[in-house]
Amino acid sequence: MSEPRDYKTEAIVIKKTKLGEADRILTFYTPHLGKIQAVAKGVRQPKSKMSGHLELLTHSMVSFARGKNLATVTGSQTINGFINIKNDLELTSYALYIIELLNQFTGEGIEDYPLFLMLLDVLDKLSTERNRELVLRYFEVQLLDNLGYRPQLKQCVSCHKQLKPVTNQFCPSAGGMNCPSCARNGNFSYSISINGLKIFRLLQDGNYNTIRRLKMTKELSLELERLIRSYIKYLLEKDIKSLTWLETLKRCA
Distance (Å) of CA 34 to CA 7, 26, 70, 147: 14, 14, 15, 13
Which helix (DSSP H) or strand (DSSP E) does residue 226 occupy?
helix 218-236
- pLDDT, position 34: 97
Contacts of 141 (CB under 8 A, 6+ apart): 200, 203, 204, 228
The answer to whether the CB of 180 falls within 8 A of the CB of 192 is no
Q: 3-class DSSP state for residue 15?
A: strand
* pLDDT lower than 50: segments of the chain: 1
Task: State the pairing for strand pair 71-80/34-40.
Answer: parallel
The predicted-structure confidence for 87-129, as pLDDT tens digits, reads as follows 999 999 999 999 999 999 999 999 999 999 999 999 999 989 9
Q: Which domains does the chain have, with CATH numbers?
A: 6-83 (2.40.50.140), 129-252 (1.20.1440.120)
Residue 186 has a pLDDT of 64
Please report how many Cα atoms fall inside a 13 Å half-sphere around the Cα of residue 155, on the Cβ side. 6
Provide φ and ψ at 22, rounded to 5°: -135, -10
* The overall pTM is greater than 0.85: yes
